[in-house]
Amino acid sequence: MSKAISKRQIGRTSLSVTELGMGGTPLGNMYKAMETEAAIATVHAAAEAGIRYFDTAPVYGFGLSETRLGQGVAKLPREDIVISSKVGYSLVPIDPSELKPGLWDKPPPVRADFDYSRDAVLRGVEASLKRLNTPYIDMLAIHDPDEAVDVGAGVDPFSRSHFRAAMDHAFPTLAELRSQGVIKAIGVGINQWQMLCDFATAGDFDYFLVAGRYTLLDQDSMARLLPLCEQHSISLVIGGPYNSGILATGAVTGATYDYRPAKQQVLERVRGIQAVCARHGVSLQAAALQFPLHHPSVAAIIPGARSIAEVEANLAFSQEPIPPQFWLELKSERLIDPAAPVGLDEPAEAT
């Protein structure tokens, strides 16, 4: 029998989430379509397993993910679950002939346009509430304000148009909704960590949702972003803990890393991790899911699931026992950052 999933606080808010959540991209037909019944059954299975945190976004399947999540949690007591969604894309109906191949399989005839304006944020929140069939959304993030990564010092973040629009318009609107109690936490959801360093100092955020950037394969964010999160009491939610596939499949032919075929250097590193896993009897997937949660700034991981079996597997991997010697060997082999917390002699984890 699985044990209860622990909860962790989001920033300084009164909100807590289960440390294992469920990411909503598969519910939006990412890469491969799901039947609506299967999507709803997957959400039900997650809830039955004790998962109480669900992440989605309007752009995931152009509304499909939010709609299916809303159907899936409809019979649950609303106060027992936490839903996070996002703002920043306006969904615009188009003629079906204008649809182009992309991330979403069999999407509705819609395109997504960036819009961080106050009116767009408010319209987006209202539309999300309808799709989710809920009176409120617990957590809202500014979605995908990605621009060129500026690693060097001295770069003015407000010189970047998406950053400026997000901070000048979307952030004040979300902060107002938070102050009114309409939402409980505001954040940024993005696929890079560098810009999050700028957001951490520019606004009063409760959480960042970052995909694939603090994982068993990528700890580059440790030096700059994670200390800022600790300093500003910003929680991290880790999307893509399998780095889009390779940490679930292993270094097999066709393995993907960050949604592209894995390069040889990545394949070799994963093979090294797999060898350590074999010596200690640890599943690669268990190591991938549990590694980020050892950092005190990480509140949750949100692997996606497109079936009941995947929900059950994620739960089992998140609770698989891992001996301390496993993490020590990964450090000694330089397969993870030697400074990465792994629950041994570091300060106590956040609760």
Q: Catalogue the active-site residues.
A: 55, 60, 86
* Residues in Cβ contact with 266 at an 8 Å cutoff, skipping those fewer than 6 apart: 217, 246, 257
* Residues in Cβ contact with 41 at an 8 Å cutoff, skipping those fewer than 6 apart: 308
For residue 339, give the amino acid letter. A
Strand partners, 187: 141, 207
β-pair type (256-257, 260-261)? antiparallel
**3-state secondary structure at position 8:** strand
* Residues in Cβ contact with 221 at an 8 Å cutoff, skipping those fewer than 6 apart: 193, 196, 210, 213, 214
C-beta atoms surrounding 245 within 10 Å: 17
Residue linked to tokens 């499909």: 64
